[in-house]
Amino acid sequence: MSDATAKAIRSPSYPSMSLRDALHAIGKIESVYRSIPIDRETAAKLIGYSSLSGPAAKALAALAAYGLFDRAGKGEARVTPRAIAILHAGNEDERRMHLLEAASEPPLFSELRDRFSGIAIPPESGVITYLNRQGFNPNAVRPAANAFLETMRFVEELKANESHGSKVTDDIESSGSKAASNEATFGGAVIGDLVQWESQGVLQFPKPLRVRFVSDDGEWIVVEGSQTGVPMSEVIVESKTPIQRTAPTFHFSQEEESLGPAQGEVEWIRSRLGGDTNVRLLVKGDMGPKEIGKLIRLLEAQKLVLEED
């Protein structure tokens, strides 16, 4: 491959979002997991994606590009000290210092700032022209330019508010550091409430579940689809029942009760196959294409055995 060809497909990494948007996203993760390591797919769901898709991976990479999110083992990452310092800064000077550091972290942004030295916010046409002349991937030119220019506008807002009361971080606090002054309240759940279970700083339910039983002493609850008691002291009420507080009825067959998911399991599939035949698939751990393929082969082998019988 010639130098000209290599230059024509140049595609250095760049954040897929501006620093302002990245702060909103990291705030959502930090408000739930603080700095505890978190599975990347769970992080993607917290910032609005249904799975760890291509766009979700790019969004998490953008958080890392600003130094707000970092690897913490295989398939896991954690909120960085820089992000914590921004979301829970002791004063505005400290917050501003870490924000400016984050804005200068992506290598491409540093390159562009050097190229347009002396211009606070370069013209969009100038940035796009420069990236095109450098052989930047055409599909990435405009997204990269937009992320850079939005971040530079954010930086200018920070500098403009340096000598007087800053309002530029109010929206950041609403998604992240607001949690410091509005911590989750535990306990107080009643039958019908939608609740989440937090144990040792980690949420245990994939989504909030409804309370169907509260013990007489008020120390334990049971949620729909489960027989396992959950300590009331670890329960966060996500949504109070808006109607009367009479106990709702949740009907479960004896078979369904015995097949309730154990802790850490997720009901992946439930289907009626006809007549009195139902199937439920409970999964613990990852369930990807490789695992599905093994399951299909296992079922095909069982089918052959039954056909021979």
Give the model's confidence band at 244: pLDDT under 50 very low, under 70 low, under 90 confident, else very high. Answer: very low
Tell me how far apart the terminal alpha carbons of the chain are, to the nearest angstrom: 61
User: 34 and 202 in contact (C-beta within 8 Å)?
Assistant: no
Instruction: Count Cβ atoms below 10 Å from residue 8 Cβ, excluding itself.
Output: 13
Of 107-111, 183-187, 297-301, which has the strongest mean pLDDT? 107-111
Which structure tokens are listed for 271? 């289907």
User: 40 and 87 in contact (C-beta within 8 Å)?
Assistant: no
Looking at per-residue pLDDT, the higher value among 244 and 112 belongs to 112
Reported pTM: 0.52
User: 225 and 267 in contact (C-beta within 8 Å)?
Assistant: yes
Report pLDDT for 127.
Answer: 92
Task: Report the chain's mean pLDDT, rounded to a whole number.
Answer: 78
Distance CA 30, CA 11 (A): 30
47-61, 65-79, 113-127, 239-253: range with lowest mean pLDDT: 239-253
Instruction: Count Cβ atoms below 10 Å from residue 148 Cβ, excluding itself.
Output: 27
pLDDT at 174 over 50: no
* Three-state DSSP string of the chain: CCHHHHHHCECCCCCCCCHHHHHHHHHHHHHHHCCCCEEHHHHHHHCCCCCCCHHHHHHHHHHHHCCCEEECCCCEEEECHHHHHHHCCCCHHHHHHHHHHHHCCCHHHHHHHHHCCCCCCCCHHHHHHHHHHCCECHHHHHHHHHHHHHHHHHHHHHHHCCCCCCCCCHHHHHHCCHHHHCCCCECCCCCCCEEEEEECCEECCCCCEEEEEECCCCCEEEECCCCCCEEHHHEEEEECCCCCCCCCCCCCCHHHHHCCCCCCCEEEEEEEEECCEEEEEEECCCCCHHHHHHHHHHHHHHHHHHHHC
Amino acid at 2: S
Predicted confidence (pLDDT) per residue in 147-168, tens digit: 999 999 988 887 776 655 445 4
pLDDT at 169 over 70: no
User: Which position has the token pair 């015995």?
Assistant: 258
Indicate the length of the chain as a whole number.
Answer: 309
* Structural domain spans, the chain: 3-175, 194-254, 266-308
Range 284-295 average pLDDT: 78
